A and B are shown apart, each in its own frame.
Chain A
Amino acid sequence: MDSALFPEGTKRCSIKIFGFWFSVWSLIVLWGLVGAYFCLRYGLNQTNMNDYFAFGVWIVVDLAVIALGAGAFFTGFLTYIVGKKELKAIINAAVIIGFICYSGAMMMLMVDIGQPIRGWFGFWHANIHSMLTEVMFCITTYLTVLIIEFVPLILDNRQLKKVPELHHFSHRLHEIMFVFAGVGTFLSFFHQGSLGGMYGVLYARPFAFRTGFMIWPWTFFLFILSAIATGPCFTMLIVWITQKVSGKQLVKRSVFNLLAKIAGTLLAVYMILKILDTWYWAVFTAPSMGFNLMDFYAGGPYGFWLVILEIGVCGILPALLLLSSKARESNAVLISACILACIGVTLNRFVFVVQTLAIPVLPFEHFYGYLPTWQEWAISAAIVGYGGIIYSLAYRYLPVFPQEVELYPENLQPQPEG
């Protein structure tokens, strides 16, 4: 029925199966929209956030998806700036994932802020001293870059390509893509860093505060590193899931190997610096504010096990697995390492958002826990649903994986219509 829209030389499932698949994601989005309606109509009292937990699951998800979406800019950087041409096989998927992550985060933020209509005040009345201002500027401009990077892929649709003007426009955009890859890299480095800086500068919150270099706390650099290490892992994970769901190989194994090696190296560097940062903070920074390390882990469910899980199980272990060429050869090991790395970076963002706020600073204050309401879960899930919809549509109708035709040359035979 819609096969005329499929990329040339590819096969896709029937419209019925796709319709069912699409409905599942749509239902999740619908649930999120109901949650968003409640929050926008009745206010953020619909959430379990409060004056102690000013940030909740939405900010955790925001920070996590922005880190995981870093595969877009970093793969772009490796492909167009460093010159790793093999990665062209995966760059389209990385851009789509990045677009989903960033646009999803922006939509979520519009519900999260108490006065969504005033969202533009951050640009108009910008406070240049605030890390959040930098985040707002860079994320917005980078989302624009991602849209520019996504447009040529959309225009490569089999039917759209037949329009000469669109084809010409798309071709020209492809030619100058290295410029956008460069701009995207610059912007992304800054906002990934500023997201880390947002917490590192909280000098009155000893759990989050970090010393640093000039105006940048160490978290600025650690957030960049963790994003560029785990972003490619997330890209690989999604592509691998696509392969499993579609039942075919879409990207050559060598591409996975190369990206995994790079991700593993970066994750190892990140881990070394993260351990050094944690040590310095535990031994010097926190005690200078009157805190022993274990004071931070004494109350509630956020115990020291989180550190072991984040740094050990979801940091050092995947780094070692990805660094070993033998381990990388195994699909199971490679994907497990990617999953662990993604959990690790999510956990890192969770710790900075939630644990920072849970720990009382005033000695006569109390420890509070936080559990999101269904509205908060629904809106968080909607980002996944939204991602599922965009990614599925892109896979079905756009030439996301250039190697697919090469891997399945038999599909190049003329297809019967319908």
Chain B
Amino acid sequence: MEQRHGIGEGVKYGMVIDLDKCIGCGACVTACVAENNTTILEDETNKLKSITWLRLYKFDNSKPYPETEICYLPRPCMQCDSHTPCVSVCPATATDYDPLTGIVSQIYTRCIGCRYCVAACPYHVRYFNWFDAVWPEGTEACLSPDVSPRMRGCVEKCTFCHHRLMAAKSKAALNGSREIPEMDYQPACVEVCPTQAIVFGDLNNTKHRVYELKQSPHAFRLLERLGTEPKVFYTTTRRWIRDMSDNWTDGEKEKAKAHS
């Protein structure tokens, strides 16, 4: 079995998303928006300016019916582990990598809105607040008190529901423990998934399910060749989806064909 570590020592939170289980219902996206007080724009038709920390991609195998196959791919922040592309470029240290958890944070009140991090991220997980955050009257009562809403002009991104980690830490401390049980810290998208396609935990903890799942021969990460070391893994038995996870030169494609 291929070992898929390369994510450093210590606690490294990550996800394994089973694309064969994902039905594209969008519950994870909705849960993420509700949990993290994400702004809804007046005109949500312009998807290039709207904010979706967890975006659901839909693509197919480009084959005609009846061979057509569709893939739904939920894409949170990859929480890159190695020389994180966005962290190294931020001039104001408004985004940081926590070596104790592996989570890439964003300090909204420090962000100057230069958007260099947005340009650096190949996964498009970073979103700039092009508009003022406006909640229609009454809806502000539904905002989560644990997550600060973001102001116009700063960048935001998925944090693996970091506030839930804080809550889990407090709970563990009250119980006199430093270790956080696997199920005490689960992001909103994981909790809400009806098919349990998303599994979350410490990638280095042998007792957590993600440890085993990420070592599946069907597991892969997006754009692995770039060396960003994402902590979000995907699994699928469908080869064409795995092939679409990275870029290949013409020569490499031919070589792969010859091998298969």
Residues of A within 8 A of B (CB): 43-45, 49-52, 54-55, 112-115, 118-119, 121-122, 124-127, 129-133, 135-136, 198, 201-206, 287-292, 295, 356-357, 361-365, 368
Contact = CB atoms under 8 A, between A and B. Distances in A.
B227 A203 contact: yes
A144 B252 CA distance: 52
Contacts of B122: 204-205, 361-362
A361 B225 CA distance: 11
Contacts of B116: 54, 130, 132, 198
B228 A118 contact: no
B152 A114 contact: yes
A104 B235 CA distance: 51
B201 to A, nearest CB: 25
B85 interface: yes
Contacts of A291: 247, 249
B89 A201 contact: yes
Contacts of B129: 43, 114
Interface stretch (B90-98, B179-187, B190-198, B211-219): B90-98
A131 B83 CA distance: 14
B5 interface: no
Contact of A54 (B115, B123, B251): B115
A132 B119 CA distance: 13
Given A206-B247, A291-B249, 16 more contacts: A43-B130, A112-B114, A113-B112, A113-B153, A114-B112, A115-B111, A122-B92, A198-B116, A203-B83, A204-B120, A204-B226, A287-B249, A288-B225, A289-B225, A290-B246, A290-B249
Contact of B110 (A118, A290, A295): A118
B126 interface: yes
B119 A290 contact: no
B7 to A, nearest CB: 17
* List of 3 A-B pairs having minimum Cβ-Cβ separation, nearest first: A114-B113, A114-B153, A290-B247
Contacts of B85: 202-204
A199 B248 CA distance: 23
A43 B92 contact: no
A364 B59 contact: yes
A363 B246 contact: yes
Contact of B113 (A113, A135, A204, A287): A113
A330 B113 CA distance: 48
A114 B91 CA distance: 14
Nearest to B51: A51
Q: How large is the interface on B (under 10, 10 to 19, 20 to 34, 35 or more residues)?
A: 35 or more
Given A43-B130, A115-B113, A54 B118 contact: yes
Nearest to B131: A45
A252 B103 CA distance: 63
A315 to B, nearest CB: 25
A192 B68 CA distance: 51
Contacts of A130: 88-91, 116
Contact of B249 (A51, A292, A363): A292
Interface string B74-91: 000000000101001111
B248 to A, nearest CB: 5
Contacts of B174: none
Nearest to A357: B119
Contacts of B110: 118, 121, 125
Nearest to B224: A290
A46 to B, nearest CB: 9
A122 B110 CA distance: 9
A364 B88 CA distance: 26
B57 interface: yes
A54 B249 contact: no
B120 A45 contact: no
B57 A50 contact: no
Nearest to B52: A51
Q: Among B85, B112, B131, which residue has the most Cβ atoms of chain A within 10 A? A: B112
B121 interface: yes
B94 A132 contact: no
A123 to B, nearest CB: 9
A52 B88 contact: no
A131 B113 contact: no
11 contacts: A51-B127, A54-B119, A55-B119, A114-B112, A122-B91, A132-B90, A202-B89, A205-B119, A287-B251, A290-B252, A362-B222
Given A43-B152, A203-B227, A136 B247 contact: no
Nearest to B115: A54
A357 B46 CA distance: 18
Q: Among B89, B119, B129, which residue has the most Cβ atoms of chain A within 10 A? A: B119
Given A202-B120, A363-B245, A363-B247, A55 B115 contact: yes
B17 interface: no
Given A132-B116, A362-B122, A115 B153 contact: yes
Contacts of A113: 112-114, 153
Contacts of A43: 129-132, 152-153
A361 B153 contact: no
B118 A51 contact: yes
Q: Among B114, B127, B152, B228, which residue has the most Cβ atoms of chain A within 10 A? A: B114
